[in-house]
Chain A
């Protein structure tokens, strides 16, 4: 097993003071604040409640708004409205609330309104197991809203990364003018890890570009500028129209096929032509791997332990872990899985990533793609994955 040698450091108290025990949900809340989120509307639900709880304290201290809404539909509508008025806006929820938000997520996408929805996944369907982990919303985060628009969905696997991806989610929403979803696992939302505070101070913040043209020239959806078109906020003197109907560049409804086609193409292209900017994927001991595990979020932690256990026994196993799950990292996955013989897809659902992997790997038999699934509210253990590794080796 490869060992890391830690640098010998003198024990300074101030250095020790900079290491804190932090919860995943707390890291998301901190990330939101550091990314400049100044409006949060939400309806508390386990296991995401701490995000709302912390922001209800932190945002007002900074002169920013926190509103507890009457339900999840109102929550997402409030953040869309706040964003149209210029705020960086976020909400946080879990399974049942995420389902209720789906329609308005589509509204945010068609109106190209930046906002972030955090979904700390719990076991479903319906009320399910409110305090237990599940990766049941992988496909819902992609296809949950009706119609046909692309999605940006980020998925961390540690407390520190929850902070980083919360910032990234806000940044990408501003940059691409869309609703970005941050998925978290129940276990990660609630677990605590030691985090070095200085590691949390290196981040960059992206703000939406503001128009410089005279108000009468302004178009809310400027075809010539693609997705980076400047965005005016209500109240700044620029007049524009916002509707969930298909619309033209001014924002007013249109049914003309050419204009609708332009709008749909724009929604799609701003994602598909920026895959390199959007995709992040971790490759863990993949260099000489004959067996690859594909896993995300908390299950990737189980898989990393399994990789270390297998490597200790001389087995050539690696892990691919997407940090951006939508758009799916097609090219990176295809390339990284080219030389492996078997792919193990581990997930806390009935097989959602499995379909994506099967779609990408055409040159392998079905028997070369091995699922490890678990839907009983418990995590997949490293031993469970190791057993499969040995079976397929």
Chain B
């Protein structure tokens, strides 16, 4: 089987405290399950909450030299600030997933944009906004097919504290469902 070079650049962006680095770690662990090479890096300010935060995941079938994302195949934006900052570094066919709880204005028209109020949905359906990161990550995974459901599940199980696994798997399932239902109704 001949192998073509593949490098996917994913940026998960928002503000500190939204769990983006954890989401990045989970996605990276899921990719390890599928035997990809991965590099997961991050950038954040000195604050523990608030301030811009981002996590990059590079998934490849070859050596990963430069470890950060510069032109994204997938961009997740949970805040207006992060959406505005990174939107134009999306590849032409890159996919944007925006949390419209925070993102009110997207300066781009494309058929590759998915908009849902993930934070509001988490509050309403899961009773807490804490797993918004997993909810939106599961949506992202389903829409992009980067990794399988089983791998994502494993990534979650390996990364979150035991007593949070149940809640996060519930968020994952809801994320998949939102992706499957996206655009079908309303």
Task: Please report A residues at the B interface, Cβ cutoff 8 Å.
Answer: 1, 3-6, 11, 16, 19-21, 46, 130-132, 187, 190-194, 298, 301-302, 304-305, 308, 379, 381-383
Q: In the bound complex, how far is the Cα of B45 from the Cα of A63, in angstroms?
A: 36
Contact A21 B65 (CB under 8 A): no
One of B3, B40, B45, B65 near A192 (C-beta < 8 A): B40
Contact of A5 with B3 at beta-carbon distance under 8 Å, contacts A191-B41, A191-B42 already known: yes
Q: For the complex, would chain A's binding face be called helix, strand, loop or mixed by DSSP majority?
A: mixed
User: Which one, B36, B67, B70, contacts A191 given CB within 8 A?
Assistant: B67
A1 CA / B65 CA spacing, docked (Å): 14
Given known contacts A19-B32, A130-B46, A194 and B37 CB-to-CB distance under 8 angstroms: yes
A192 and B28 in contact (CB under 8 A), knowing A301-B65, A304-B66? yes
- CB of B83 within 8 Å of the partner chain: no
Q: State the CA gap A16–B32 with chains docked (Å).
A: 8
Other 8 A-B pairs with CB < 8 A, given A1-B5, A191-B67: A130-B46, A131-B45, A187-B41, A190-B42, A192-B25, A192-B39, A301-B67, A304-B63
Where the two chains meet, the residues of B that have a C-beta atom closer than 8 Å to any C-beta of A are: 3, 5, 25, 28-29, 32-33, 35-46, 61-68, 70
Q: A21 with B66: in contact, given A3-B5, A130-B46 (CB under 8 Å)?
A: no
Docked pose: A198 CA to B151 CA in angstroms = 22
* A194 adjacent to B38 (CB under 8 Å): yes
Distance A305 CA – B65 CA, assembled complex (angstroms): 6
- Chain B residues lying within 8 Å of A46, measured Cβ to Cβ, are 46
Determine which of A21, A304, A308 lies in contact with B40 in the assembled complex, contact meaning CB atoms within 8 Å.
A21
Residues in A whose Cβ lies below 8 Å from that of B25:
21, 192
* Interchain CB contact under 8 A, B66 and A382: yes
Q: Find chain A residues with CB under 8 A from B67 CB.
A: 187, 191, 193, 298, 301
Known: A6-B3, A16-B35. A21 touches B28 (CB 8 A): yes
Q: Are B3 and A190 in contact (CB under 8 A)?
A: no
The complex places the Cα of A4 from the Cα of B68 at a distance, in Å, of 22
Chain A residues with CB under 8 Å of B28's CB are 21, 192, 194
Residues of chain B within 8 A (CB-CB) of A3 are 3, 5, 62
B37 — nearest CB in chain A belongs to which residue? Answer: A194
Which 6 pairs from chain A and chain B are nearest by CB? A304-B65, A305-B66, A191-B41, A305-B65, A192-B40, A194-B32
The reply to whether B63 and A4 contact each other, CB–CB distance below 8 Å, is: yes
Tell me the bound Cα distance from A40 to B63 in angstroms: 34
A193 to B58, CA, bound (A): 10
CB distance from B15 to the nearest CB of A (A): 14
Interface centre among A6, A20, A21 (most CB of B within 10 A): A21
- For B65, the chain A residues whose CB sits under 8 A away are 301-302, 304-305, 308, 382
**Once the chains bind, are A301 and B66 in contact (CB under 8 Å)?**
yes
| CB-based contact B39/A193 at 8 Å | yes
Residues of B within 8 A of A1 (CB): 5
Give the CA-CA distance A16 to B154 in the complex, in Å. 12
B35 contact set on A, CB distance < 8 A: 11, 16, 19
A-B contact pairs, 8 of them (CB 8 A): A3-B62, A6-B61, A21-B29, A21-B32, A131-B45, A187-B41, A193-B64, A382-B70
Look across to chain B and name the residue whose beta carbon is closest to the beta carbon of A190.
Answer: B42
Give chain B residues whose Cβ lies under 8 Å from the Cβ of A301: 65-67
Contact in complex: A191, B66 (CB < 8 Å):
no
Chain A residue nearest in CB terms to B57:
A192
Name the CB-closest residue of A to B70.
Answer: A381
Chain A residues near B43: list those with CB within 8 A: 131-132
User: How near does chain A come to B43, taking the closest CB pair, in angstroms?
Assistant: 7
Q: Which residue of A lies closest to B56 (CB)?
A: A191
Query: How close is A205's CB to chain B, nearest CB, in angstroms?
Result: 29
With A1-B5, A5-B3, A131-B45 already in contact, the answer to whether A191 and B62 are too (CB < 8 A) is no
Chain A residues lying within 8 Å of B37, measured Cβ to Cβ, are: 193-194
* A193 in contact with B66 given A3-B5, A5-B3, A19-B32 (CB within 8 Å): no
B61 surroundings in chain A (CB, below 8 A): 6
Complex Cα spacing A192 to B61, Å: 16
List chain A residues, Cβ under 8 A from B29. 21
A131-B38 Cα distance, complex, nearest whole Å: 22
- Asked whether, in the complex, the Cβ of B46 is within 8 Å of the Cβ of A191, the reply is no
The minimal Cβ–Cβ distance linking B30 to chain A, given in whole angstroms, is: 10
- Residue with the highest number of chain B CB atoms closer than 10 Å, among A131, A308, A383: A131
Inside 8 A of A187's CB, which chain B residues have their CB? Answer: 41, 67-68
> Closest Cβ of chain A: how far from B152's Cβ, in Å?
14
Known A308-B65, A379-B68: A193·B5 in contact at CB below 8 Å: no
Residue of A nearest to B28 (CB): A21
Closest to A133 in B: B43
